């Protein structure tokens, strides 16, 4: 049996991409700016070569053993779906649509008719800010809150005591069916919350994403078709619309997701375990909480030996990210950045520089070659470069 553990540290960018000016993100550097703002201690990842990644302002550990580099996103955009799809082999030619001024009223009218109630909001906002503004009105009227952001999303927020989770999910499914053509956003997101008044509302773990169907075969599809297991952790099942998976644990929050990885890796299987650790993005990046972000990175690093101890000699570990969300940057949105690439397996000798990869799809190409499959996804595998390292 052979296994790949692919861990996506959500939003952990590694410096602005050359086209960052098109997105207003010149100067963004999630890892580097955190490291400049306060001590960032990642001894376990650094022992695999992480601190050698250029421009993240960590002191290199010279006796590290592993492979490191950066990846550039070839697809336009800087959202979760785009990043995950590209690393799974789908490179977009056109970015998912965004609606910084809110959705057309004609669409909102049709949505309200379909769900049988009026809505509140319909503008771009931070999720916590819009709850403070409209949460109490929502509780008085029962109308769900619709909002978007700089990302390609249609979000519906509702108090769990006003609109039960199943009803909220039903509304999201209705929205997903309507959002086609020029309205085909990457994700519809259910945003349940609790609390009694403005300033005291908190979002719950009942979040659920309703993504578009992937537009082509991903490495998940190919692995499954060739008899391998594909196990998703966290919101992976949502991002790929439940496609290409043989098992999933929709754990919420980094501690629970890491527990789910441990559970999967503790058992024998042949294939891929694909995990998203969302807290760096959702809890700390968008809230521009530098210390919280740093602490979440250090928490993952502290549990990394727990994961590597479960890996056999035929297993491969890949750690990367899907975009940036620099907590030191202006605004509250994602940032257009390179993402780090860290690769390790038991017995790897020395340190290998994987350089700057042209596309996130190099991950899909590498996994394909690792399992002896032919697909390369218009990308370049790095497996041959490191398997004898």
Q: What is the CATH number of the domain that holds 364?
A: 3.40.720.10
Q: Is the pLDDT of residue 389 over 70?
A: no
Residue 229 and residue 191 share a domain? no
CA atoms within 13 A on the CB side of 172: 30
Whether the CB-CB separation of 207 and 80 falls below 8 Å is answered with: no
Nearest to residue 223, comparing CAs of 381, 6, 372? 372
Residue 375 and residue 231 share a domain? yes
Q: State pLDDT tens for residues 130-162.
A: 999 999 999 999 999 999 988 899 999 999 999
Residue 122 and residue 47 share a domain? no
In a domain, 37, yes or no: yes
How far is residue 118's CA from residue 111's CA, in Å, rounded to a whole number? 9
What does the pLDDT read at residue 205?
Answer: 87
Count of domains forming the chain:
2
Whether the CB-CB separation of 382 and 357 falls below 8 Å is answered with: yes
In a domain, 291, yes or no: yes
Q: Is the pLDDT of residue 32 over 90?
A: yes
Distances (CA, A) of 96 to 82, 251, 321: 8, 26, 19
Residue 71 and residue 141 share a domain? no
Give backbone dihedrals phi and psi of 323, rounded to 5 degrees, phi first: 180, -170
Among residues 153, 179, 211, the one where a domain terminates is 211
Q: State pLDDT tens for residues 160-214.
A: 999 999 999 999 999 999 999 999 999 999 999 999 999 999 999 899 999 899 9
- Reduce the secondary structure of the chain to three states and give it as a string: CCEEEEEEECCCCCCECCCHHHHCCCCCCHHHHHHHHCCCCCHHHHCCCHHHCCCCCCCCCCCCCEEEEEECCCCCCCCHHHHHHHHCCCCCCCCCCCCCCCCCHHHHHHHHHHHCCCCEEEEECCHHHHHHHHHHHHHHHCCCEEEECCCCEEEEEEECCCCCHHHHHHHHHHHHHHCCHHHCCCEEEEEEEECCCCCCCEECCCCEEEECCCCCCCHHHHHHHCCCEEEEECCHHHHCCCCCCCEEECCCCHHHHHHHHHHHHCCCCCEEEEEEECHHHHHHHCCCCHHHHHHHHHHHHHHHHHHHCCCCCCEEEEEECCCECCCCCCCCCCECECEEEEEECCCCCCEEEEEEECCCCHHHHHHHHHCCCCCCCCCCCCHHHHCCC
Among residues 179, 211, 243, the one where a domain terminates is 211
Give backbone dihedrals phi and psi of 210, rounded to 5 degrees, phi first: -120, 100
Predicted TM-score (pTM) of the model is 0.91
- Other C-beta atoms lying within 10 Å of the C-beta of residue 383: 16
Q: State pLDDT tens for residues 68-110.
A: 999 999 999 999 999 999 999 999 999 999 999 999 999 999 9
What does the pLDDT read at residue 128?
Answer: 87
* Domain CATH for 147: 3.30.70.1250
Residue 334 and residue 300 share a domain? yes
In a domain, 236, yes or no: yes
Mean pLDDT (the chain) is: 96
In a domain, 204, yes or no: yes
**C-alpha dihedral sign at 108, 109, 115, 121:** positive
What does the pLDDT read at residue 203?
Answer: 93
CA atoms within 13 A on the CB side of 159: 21
In a domain, 100, yes or no: no
In a domain, 269, yes or no: yes
What does the pLDDT read at residue 331?
Answer: 87
Boundaries of domain holding 197: 105-211
In a domain, 73, yes or no: yes
Q: Is the pLDDT of residue 297 over 90?
A: yes
Whether the CB-CB separation of 348 and 68 falls below 8 Å is answered with: no
Residue 180 and residue 84 share a domain? no
Q: Is the pLDDT of residue 305 over 90?
A: yes
In a domain, 99, yes or no: no
What does the pLDDT read at residue 298?
Answer: 98
Residue 144 and residue 29 share a domain? no
Residue 306 and residue 175 share a domain? no
Whether the CB-CB separation of 62 and 49 falls below 8 Å is answered with: no
Among residues 167, 187, 211, the one where a domain terminates is 211
How far is residue 3's CA from residue 273's CA, in Å, rounded to a whole number? 8
Residue 300 and residue 372 share a domain? yes
Q: State pLDDT tens for residues 358-386.
A: 999 999 999 999 999 999 999 999 999 89
Residue 200 and residue 220 share a domain? no
Residue 321 and residue 219 share a domain? yes
Residue 85 and residue 22 share a domain? yes
Q: Is the pLDDT of residue 388 over 80?
A: no
């Amino acid at each position: 049996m052979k296994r790949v553990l692919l861990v996506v540290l959500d939003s952990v960018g590694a410096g602005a991409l050359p086209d960052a000016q098109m997105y207003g993100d010149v100067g963004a550097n999630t890892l580097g700016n955190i490291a400049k703002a306060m001590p960032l201690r990642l001894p376990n990842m650094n022992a695999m070569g992480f601190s050698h990644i250029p421009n993240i302002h960590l002191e290199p550990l010279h006796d590290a053993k592993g492979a490191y580099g950066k990846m550039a996103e070839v697809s336009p955009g800087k959202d979760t779906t785009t990043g995950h799809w590209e690393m799974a082999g789908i490179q977009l030619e056109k970015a998912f649509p965004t609606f910084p001024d809110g959705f057309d009223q004609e669409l909102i009218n049709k949505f309200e008719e379909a769900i049988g109630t009026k809505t509140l909001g319909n503008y771009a906002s931070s999720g916590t800010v819009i709850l403070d503004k409209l949460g109490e009105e929502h509780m008085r009227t029962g109308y769900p809150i619709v909002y978007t952001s700089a990302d390609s999303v249609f979000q519906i927020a509702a108090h769990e005591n006003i609109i039960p989770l199943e009803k909220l999910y039903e509304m999201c499914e209705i929205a997903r069916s309507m959002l086609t053509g020029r309205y085909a956003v990457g994700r519809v997101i259910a945003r349940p919350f609790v609390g009694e008044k403005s300033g005291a509302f908190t979002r719950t773990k009942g979040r659920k994403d309703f993504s578009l169907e992937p537009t082509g075969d991903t490495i998940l599809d190919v692995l499954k078709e060739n008899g391998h297991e594909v196990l998703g952790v966290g919101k992976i099942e949502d991002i790929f619309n439940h496609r290409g998976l043989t098992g999933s644990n929709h754990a919420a929050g980094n501690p629970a997701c890491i527990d789910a990885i441990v559970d999967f890796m503790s058992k024998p299987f042949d294939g891929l375990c694909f995990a998203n650790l969302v807290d760096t993005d959702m809890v700390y990046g968008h809230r521009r909480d530098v210390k919280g972000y740093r602490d979440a990175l250090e928490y993952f690093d502290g549990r990394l030996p727990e994961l590597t101890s479960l890996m056999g000699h035929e297993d491969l570990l890949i750690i990367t990210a899907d975009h940036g969300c620099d907590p030191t940057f202006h605004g509250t949105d994602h940032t257009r950045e390179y993402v780090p690439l860290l690769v390790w397996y038991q017995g790897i000798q020395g340190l290998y520089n994987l350089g700057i990869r042209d596309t996130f799809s190099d991950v899909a190409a590498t996994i394909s070659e690792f399992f002896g499959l032919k697909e390369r996804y218009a990308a370049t595998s790095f497996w041959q470069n490191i398997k004898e390292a």
